[in-house]
């Protein structure tokens, strides 16, 4: 990691710090003294609060930075890092060596992605290489309701699917993934191959690759919600072969 991008010296100004933040596009810095030892942290929020107190761009950063900061030593264990990130106010933590020199920085999002991607815990890992957007997925509107991906990596995807009263997904199959459903709330019906099954909260459904299936909400007043986990080698929405659809989307393969 290029630590210089994430550090500002106590002798530098608030303007210098803002330029550093603009350059690294993260909104935080470690504050180091003239011996390059970490003595605090500063965020764009800390600087905003310093402006409210009357300080200006040319004031030294020591009027804005946080001295009572949390830190991790390069050889600290997993449990300590997890415990620190349980504190709501902590979004990032400097990682230092025994001489208090900056070695790395980890954010709460970095920690989540590291674990969910199955990457071994190592405080010297290049956390900047992690794609934090893996934790941020849009909600997708469909004629039958909506779904939201909650996690996606190279070998799995998880979703929450909500089907409106009377709504039904298309009769479909997938070639590159298998699916596991757990009914969270509501009642409905699942077509699985040649069979048909009534489902309700707590039921589990396994859908093998290549198996035709359909989910229908049979209630006229309550939504049906399921948690879905997909396993396979490809999770694109174009891995959908549609056979029947009450919304007339037979030519629109690639959308649930």
| 132-160 per-residue burial string, b: 16 or more CB within 10 A, e: under 16 | eebeebeeeebbbbebebebbeeebbbbe
- Return d(Cα 248, Cα 188) in angstroms, integer: 21
- Return d(Cα 183, Cα 194) in angstroms, integer: 21
Whether residues 153 and 229 fall in one domain: yes
Whether residues 83 and 146 fall in one domain: no
146: CATH: 2.60.120.10
What is the percentage of the chain residues whose pLDDT exceeds 90?
82
Q: Residue 189: name the closest of 226, 221, 160 by CA.
A: 226
What secondary structure letter does DSSP report for 129?
Answer: G
Who contacts 95 (Cβ-Cβ below 8 Å, separation ≥6)? Answer: 71, 72, 73, 74, 102, 103, 104, 105, 106, 123
pLDDT per residue as tens digits for the range 149-195: 988 888 899 999 999 999 999 999 999 999 999 999 999 999 999 99
Whether residues 48 and 78 fall in one domain: yes
98 falls within a domain: yes
91 falls within a domain: yes
Alpha carbon 35 to its chain centroid, in Å, reads: 37
Confidence (pLDDT) at 138? 86
Does the model's pTM come out above 0.95? no
Pairing state of beta strands 28-32 and 7-9?
A: parallel
pLDDT per residue as tens digits for the range 37-95: 999 999 999 999 999 999 999 999 999 999 999 999 999 999 999 999 999 999 999 99
| 28-58 per-residue burial string, b: 16 or more CB within 10 A, e: under 16 | bbbbbeeeeebbbbbbeebbeebeeeebeee
| pLDDT band at residue 256 using 50, 70 and 90 as cut-offs | low
Of 82, 105, 133, the last residue of a domain is 133
Confidence (pLDDT) at 145? 97
Pairing state of beta strands 145-152 and 177-185?
A: unpaired
59 falls within a domain: yes
- State the burial class of residue 233 (Cβ atoms within 10 Å of its Cβ: 0-12, 13-18, 19+): exposed
Whether residues 209 and 230 fall in one domain: yes
255 falls within a domain: no
251 falls within a domain: no
Q: Are the C-beta atoms of 175 and 233 separated by less than 8 Å? A: no
Tokens linked to 249:
């989307």
234 falls within a domain: yes
Find the domain containing 172 and state its range: 137-244
Who contacts 108 (Cβ-Cβ below 8 Å, separation ≥6)? Answer: 85, 90, 91, 92
Confidence (pLDDT) at 250? 83
pLDDT per residue as tens digits for the range 184-227: 999 999 999 999 999 999 999 999 999 999 999 999 999 999 99
What do you get for the CA distance between the two ends of the chain, in Å? 41
- Return d(Cα 32, Cα 139) in angstroms, integer: 42
Whether residues 102 and 144 fall in one domain: no
């Amino acid at each position: 990691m290029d630590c210089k991008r994430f550090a500002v010296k106590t002798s530098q100004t608030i303007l210098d710090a803002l330029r550093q933040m603009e350059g690294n596009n993260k909104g935080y810095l470690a504050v180091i003294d003239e011996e390059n030892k970490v003595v605090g942290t500063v965020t764009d929020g800390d600087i905003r609060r310093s402006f409210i107190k009357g300080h200006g761009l040319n004031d030294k950063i020591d009027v804005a930075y946080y001295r009572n900061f949390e830190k991790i030593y390069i050889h600290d264990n997993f449990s300590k890092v997890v415990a620190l990130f349980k504190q709501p106010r902590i979004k990032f933590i400097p990682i230092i060596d025994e001489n208090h020199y900056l070695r790395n920085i980890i954010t709460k999002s970095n920690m989540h992605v590291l674990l969910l991607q199955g990457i071994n815990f190592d405080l010297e890992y290049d956390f900047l290489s992690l794609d934090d957007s893996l934790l941020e997925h849009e909600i997708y509107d469909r004629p039958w309701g909506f779904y939201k991906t909650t996690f996606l990596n190279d070998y799995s995807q998880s979703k929450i699917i909500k089907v409106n009263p009377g709504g039904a997904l298309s009769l479909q199959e997938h070639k590159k993934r298998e699916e596991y459903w757990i009914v969270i709330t509501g009642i409905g019906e699942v077509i699985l191959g040649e069979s048909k099954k009534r489902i309700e909260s707590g039921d589990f459904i396994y859908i093998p690759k290549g198996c035709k299936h359909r989910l229908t909400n049979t209630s006229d007043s309550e939504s049906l919600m399921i948690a879905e986990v997909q396993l396979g080698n490809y999770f694109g929405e174009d891995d959908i072969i549609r056979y029947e659809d009450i919304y007339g989307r037979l030519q629109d393969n690639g959308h649930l």
